[in-house]
Amino acid sequence: MAVPLAFFGLFFAYPVASIVGRGLKTDEGWQFGRIGEVLTRPDIAGVLWFTTWQALASTVLTLLIALPGAYVFARFEFPGKQLLRAVVTVPFVLPTVVVGTAFLALLGRGGLMDESMGVRLDTTVWAILLAHVFFNYAVIVRTVGGLWAQLDPRQEEAARVLGAGRFAAWRRVTLPALAPSVAAASLMVFLFTFSSFGVVLILGGPAYSTLEVEVYRQTAQLLDLPTAAVLTMVQFAAIGGILAVHAWTVRRRETALRLVDPGRTTHRPRGWAQRTLLGGVLATIGLLIVAPLAVLVERSFDAPGGYGFGFYRALQDAGAGGGTFLVPPLEAIWNSLQYALAATAIALFIGGLAAAALTRRAGTFVRGFDALLMLPLGVSAVTVGFGFLITLDEPPLDLRTSWILVPLAQALVGVPFVVRTMLPVLRAVDGRLREAAAVLGASPLRAWREVDLPLVRRALLIAAGFAFAVSLGEFGATVFIARPDQPTLPVAVARLLGRAGEMNYGQAMAMSTILMLVCAVSLLVLERLRPDKTSGEF
């Protein structure tokens, strides 16, 4: 408990409080009058309203589209499942600039939808919502699906034997067991879309603006710290409200569940209904996730003089130009992986400790701590980055130009994922098992290792995958934090896109494809990391 608290205090609460404080405190003392002043501005009210409703709509839409997917991944066995699970997570790592490009190619003028149906969705709210689903599909599938796969289907079967209908059995047995993880996943999606930045900018056009965009403009462009401070506090208040509602509705409904090995709960789809469901989910994934990704891949091969590896070859010669601008892609991959590994390690360490602490205790304080851990998801990267700048500036913590600052910032976003993925599973572990181990003379650590770890290993891996993916594609904080020039893949993509000329555009697409590949491969490797070979899951 102490370590995660210290970590959050130092790398989150303290920097953010400092930057907000700087905005509200002038030489004449605190300027709380500024708060009312900013809030009554009609444009700010409009921004707040749009931010909230688009986040709600995105969350509902993501749930509707992704829950069947979670079920299919949890219960069915089909060829290529592992690969597909990695593929649905790929959107998570793509820089929004690239996603915007892919979506415009699908939904924009002359895009696929336009040619086939005459429908154009760019610069509409629909484009924003669909892109949010694209980004967050994996959140639902992985967090809910992860737990679903470990629920014992025999409980539902028992209910059926006792005369419950198919739906009633699901509603009374499975749904209550899943509810905490569904709620947790929805919460994450909501926080993500609430603080959406790039998607709204690119797909919504300049007419739509979220709080996040407004904070960025006020801080990074106009240096109007008072306004930015008020907006950050509004964001805090909104997120605090959401978290309170979440805590109140869940009200610790996590009960001890009988978790079984996921390998035992999957089966090949039987009967037409299950096959249709599987087909429907696969079609959804194909349209919503694979198609935009395929557009990028197609463009990366569409080199002058016919399809081929022309752009990839050009990437290899990037070093030949001799500038500091272009890095050979191998170097960018290596940079990205280093950052991601460090960020994942930090996030797992901090998040694991926090989740363990939260399992052991209950009470208001703990709930507050739980909420605190979620806050970084909803606070803008620019606030955190600028906060770092004015707080971490003295030895021994003069980290402003240090390499470690980037993974630290990324881990802030990774920790909530780790906690949210592990907590439902940890809470579901029957405490009596631990007690039994203790009675038999095991130390708390040993009891944890022998009892909890085997059960939560899967959740741990899923959490690690998330933390890794977040870090790999994270662009916001990385951009605001000064770093010695070691561009990561997303940064390199953005740079290439920022220059004119066919070769730059093509290389940006090739670099995005490499990023997707690195992400998919890393996730596949992670999924196969098994400390011991006891479970025959694959």
DSSP track, 72-104? HHHHB--TTHHHHHHHHHGGGGS-HHHHHHHHH
How far apart are the C-alpha atoms of 48 and 144, rounded to whole Å? 30
Q: Does 316 bind another protein (CB under 8 A)?
A: no
Q: Which is nearer to another protein, 165 or 205 (CB)?
A: 205
Instruction: State the minimum distance, in angstroms, from the CB of residue 482 to another protein.
Output: 4
Q: Which is nearer to another protein, 145 or 198 (CB)?
A: 198
Place of tokens 């926080």: 191
Cβ neighbors of 336 (< 8 A, separation 6 or more) are 472, 488, 489, 490, 515, 518
Instruction: State the minimum distance, in angstroms, from the CB of residue 525 to another protein.
Output: 21
For 211, the token pair is 């709080």
Footprint of another protein on residues 87-116 (CB under 8 A)?
97, 100-101, 104-105, 108-110
Cβ neighbors of 483 (< 8 A, separation 6 or more) are 401, 403, 405, 406
Burial class (CB in 10 A: 0-12, 13-18, 19+), 229: buried
Instruction: State the minimum distance, in angstroms, from the CB of residue 383 to another protein.
Output: 12
Partner residues linked to 29 by β-bridges: 26
Instruction: State the minimum distance, in angstroms, from the CB of residue 460 to another protein.
Output: 19
User: Three-state SS for 30?
Assistant: strand
Q: Which is nearer to another protein, 163 or 396 (CB)?
A: 396
Q: Does 118 bind another protein (CB under 8 A)?
A: no
Q: Which is nearer to another protein, 303 or 423 (CB)?
A: 303
Q: Which stretch binds another protein (CB under 8 A): 63-71, 158-166, 212-220, 434-442?
A: 212-220
Q: Which is nearer to another protein, 310 or 473 (CB)?
A: 310
Site string for another protein, 328-347 (x = CB under 8 A): ----------x---x--xx-
Count of chain residues binding another protein (CB under 8 A): 82
Q: Which stretch binds another protein (CB under 8 A): 24-32, 264-272, 300-308, 452-460?
A: 300-308
Q: Does 256 bind another protein (CB under 8 A)?
A: no
Cβ neighbors of 353 (< 8 A, separation 6 or more) are 1, 3, 4
Footprint of another protein on residues 496-535 (CB under 8 A)?
497-506
Q: Which stretch binds another protein (CB under 8 A): 240-248, 360-368, 386-394, 441-449?
A: 386-394
Distances (CA, A) of 213 to 201, 216, 221, 449: 8, 5, 11, 44
Q: Does 223 bind another protein (CB under 8 A)?
A: yes
Q: Which is nearer to another protein, 170 or 349 (CB)?
A: 349
Q: Does 27 bind another protein (CB under 8 A)?
A: no
Footprint of another protein on residues 458-487 (CB under 8 A)?
479-486
According to CB under 8 A, which one of 79, 271, 305, 363 is a site residue for another protein?
Answer: 305
DSSP structural state of residue 26: E
Instruction: State the minimum distance, in angstroms, from the CB of residue 99 to another protein.
Output: 12
Instruction: State the minimum distance, in angstroms, from the CB of residue 29 to another protein.
Output: 18
Q: Does 390 bind another protein (CB under 8 A)?
A: yes
Backbone angles phi and psi of 489, in degrees to 5: -55, -50
Q: Does 492 bind another protein (CB under 8 A)?
A: no
According to CB under 8 A, which one of 173, 459, 491, 523 is a site residue for another protein?
Answer: 491
Instruction: State the minimum distance, in angstroms, from the CB of residue 330 to another protein.
Output: 17
Q: Which is nearer to another protein, 96 or 284 (CB)?
A: 96
Q: Does 402 bind another protein (CB under 8 A)?
A: yes
How far apart are the C-alpha atoms of 105 and 98, rounded to whole Å? 11
Cβ neighbors of 95 (< 8 A, separation 6 or more) are 198, 473, 475, 490, 493, 494, 512, 515
Q: Does 81 bind another protein (CB under 8 A)?
A: no
According to CB under 8 A, which one of 255, 276, 401, 443 is a site residue for another protein?
Answer: 401
DSSP track, 193-247? HHT--HHHHHHH-TT---HHHHHHIIIIIS--HHHHHHHHHHHHHHHHHHHHHHH
Of 218, 216, 180, the closest CA to residue 195 belongs to 216
According to CB under 8 A, which one of 77, 157, 317, 393 is a site residue for another protein?
Answer: 393
Q: Does 243 bind another protein (CB under 8 A)?
A: no
Burial class (CB in 10 A: 0-12, 13-18, 19+), 485: exposed
Of 72, 51, 54, the closest CA to residue 62 belongs to 54
Footprint of another protein on residues 184-203 (CB under 8 A)?
201-202
How far apart are the C-alpha atoms of 389 and 19, rounded to whole Å? 9
Of 215, 247, 229, 228, the closest CA to residue 420 belongs to 247
Q: Which is nearer to another protein, 247 or 341 (CB)?
A: 341
Tell me the residue length of the chain.
538
